[in-house]
Amino acid sequence: MKEIDGKTKVLGVIGNPIEHTLSPVIHNSLCRILGINAVYVPIHVENNIGSAVKGLCAAKVAGLNITVPYKQEVMENLVEIDPLAQRIGAVNTLVPHEGGYKGYNTDMPGLKRALESKGISLAGRKAIVIGAGGASRAVCIMLMDNGVDEIYLLNRSLDKAQAIAAEIPCVKALGLDEYDKIPFYNADEKNSRYIMFQCTSLGLKPGDKLAIEDDAFYRLADYGYDLIYNPANTPFINKLKSMNISCDNGLSMLLYQGLIAFEYWFDIKISQEVSQKVYDILRRKLYGDNIVLVGYMGSGKTSVGKELSEKYNMNFVDTDEYIVKTQAKSINKIFEESGEAGFRKIESDSIASLSGLCNTVISTGGGAVISSENREMLKKLGRVVYLKADTETIFNRVRHDDQRPLLKSESEEELKNRIENMLSVRRAYYETAAHKVVVTDNRAILDIVEEIAEELSE
Ligand code: ATR
């Protein structure tokens, strides 16, 4: 967002309630990244959506989103409605048009783009949709429009699924206990051939269970999408992850419905790179940012990291432990077999594979910051904190440790010199890698944890 001035355009989202909306995060990030002079605000409309829309139009508000409970009602207050929004029966985006606003639905195009961004194409595919509310109906319309030729729609209340099937020819309605009627159920284990959509409200509340428990049902899917994005891991997402079936939650749909609305307002096309940036901002805002700890071995990354994660209810990943686990070899063994260069390659790949994490404390190996590529990846991963310790502190912490291949030494004297030499080379790397430097010499762990935690509120 540029500084607000006399030319700043106003955008907003209308709803009731509205205070928990994430849309301002999406749109104000876009304005900032793209250098557009506009601001996006929540607009709480308690009733009379008609006069609100009229007033906002008169005030030349340059674009609006509409959310619960007004997505249908607002349709009576528009000068034109896009045919897709008309068919879905809901409008979530208003674009200025002669004499008022034109209404669009960007939710389903948003879901489609979310799938495309994952390389999932729909034409000629078969789908399974769980749930038969308004969202499921819209998903079925989107699937049919994009060339899906068979949709199995399962719902607790069969009549609601049947009502959708009566309207959309490729939909077959089933009760929740009738999934064994889906072709290929329990056929070959590897014969998964459906895209699966979770469109019930199950998963929104803690303690919610799956609509269907049977693993053989989920084996029908080669990809699953849960429209819920909060919490991040619903029972559906957990089930698919546990079965190694690739899946995503509804956050990407939330992102792309916003991006498409923004494209209408400013008549632009948003690149995949910008989309990814906004997705990362959104993800961290909702699920929590990561803290990445860098520093020389013995600087306290593991003990401080564990304490920080426990105190702030975050996950904890140590990149060296992660490497040992994924390679099924000790660090010493990797050094023996592949040398330092081989280890550094595995380390870079491992850091790259952590890019989906959020709300996690990531403790890195002492040499991870040497490569500029790693430093860049770490900065993208979260707030990077350099735990700074002097030679003496490190020497005292590592002198009896024989698990660190780079510290094998003949004598204590030699070890100290070696630490000093390595530190003098690496200090600059740690400093350029970090958003914040925390000195750890002679300090209690909890004290250090508190200083790092300030980064979480940045
Ligand atoms: P939306 O408009 O967002 O799709 P909805 O119309 O309230 O929301 O639909 C909620 C969906 O979740 C429905 O498919 C509902 O099943 P019913 O049609 O049988 O009510 C489903 N759902 C909600 N709670 C459920 C539960 N405990 N078990 C199974 N399905 C459930």
Q: What is the pLDDT of residues 348-373, one digit of tens each?
A: 999 999 987 889 999 999 999 999 99
The CA 199 to ligand 1 mean position distance, Å, reads: 8
Structure tokens at 260: 């498409």
d(CA 383, CA 317): 15
- DSSP secondary structure letter of residue 2: P
Cα-based distances in Å from 413 to 10, 298, 391, 403, 423? 66, 17, 12, 19, 15
d(CA 323, CA 262): 41
Q: For residue 270, how many other CB atoms are within 10 A of its CB?
A: 20
Atom from ligand 1 closest to the CA of residue 161? 18
What is the pLDDT at residue 54?
Answer: 98
Question: Contact at 8 Å (CB) between 223 and 120?
Answer: yes
Question: Contact at 8 Å (CB) between 151 and 171?
Answer: yes
Q: Quick check: helix, strand or coil at residue 66?
A: strand
Return the residue matching tokens 């003496």: 392
Is residue 205 exposed (0-12), middle (13-18) or buried (19+ Cβ within 10 Å)? exposed
The CA 202 to ligand 1 mean position distance, Å, reads: 8
Q: For residue 79, how many other CB atoms are within 10 A of its CB?
A: 13
Q: Considering only CA atoms, which residue is closest to atom 27 of ligand 1?
A: 202
Q: Which residues of the chain have pLDDT under 70?
A: 1-2, 188-192, 402-408, 457-458
- DSSP secondary structure letter of residue 269: -
Read off the pTM: 0.81
What is the pLDDT at residue 189?
Answer: 61
Return the residue matching tokens 């923004």: 262
In short, whether 155's Cβ falls inside 6 Å of ligand 1 is: yes
Q: Quick check: helix, strand or coil at residue 208?
A: coil
Q: Quick check: helix, strand or coil at residue 89?
A: coil
Strands (E), 68-180: 80-81, 93-97, 100-104, 126-130, 150-155, 171-175
Long-range contact set of residues 165-172: C-beta below 8 Å, sequence gap at least 24: 167/137, 168/137, 168/140, 168/141, 168/144, 169/144, 170/144, 171/140, 171/144
In short, whether 432's Cβ falls inside 6 Å of ligand 1 is: no
What is the pLDDT at residue 298?
Answer: 87
In short, whether 89's Cβ falls inside 6 Å of ligand 1 is: no
Q: What is the pLDDT of residues 227-248, one digit of tens each?
A: 999 999 999 999 999 999 999 9
- CA neighbor of 213 nearest in space, from 193, 171, 184, 243: 243
Mutate to test the pocket of ligand 1, among 201, 209, 225, 226 (most ligand atoms within 8 A of CB): 201
Q: For residue 284, how many other CB atoms are within 10 A of its CB?
A: 16
Q: Considering only CA atoms, which residue is closest to atom 6 of ligand 1?
A: 133
In short, whether 72's Cβ falls inside 6 Å of ligand 1 is: no
What is the pLDDT at residue 413?
Answer: 87
The CA 140 to ligand 1 mean position distance, Å, reads: 15
Question: Contact at 8 Å (CB) between 41 and 21?
Answer: no
Atom from ligand 1 closest to the CA of residue 176? 29
Residue type, 161: A
Q: Considering only CA atoms, which residue is closest to atom 9 of ligand 1?
A: 133
Return the residue matching tokens 């089933």: 174
Note if 269 is an active site residue.
no
Cα-based distances in Å from 178 to 161, 175, 224, 379, 404? 12, 5, 19, 49, 57
Atom from ligand 1 closest to the CA of residue 131? 14
Q: Quick check: helix, strand or coil at residue 197?
A: strand
The CA 134 to ligand 1 mean position distance, Å, reads: 9
The CA 385 to ligand 1 mean position distance, Å, reads: 45
What is the pLDDT at residue 1?
Answer: 54
Give me the sign of the Cα torsion angle 310, 360, 319, 447.
Answer: negative
- CA neighbor of 28 nearest in space, from 11, 5, 16: 11
What is the pLDDT at residue 61?
Answer: 98
d(CA 441, CA 432): 20
Return the residue matching tokens 């002679």: 442
HSE (CB half, 13 Å, CA atoms) of 377? Answer: 20
Angle between helices 272-287 and 23-34 (to 10 degrees): 140
d(CA 80, CA 86): 10
Catalytic residue among 9, 54, 71, 277: 71
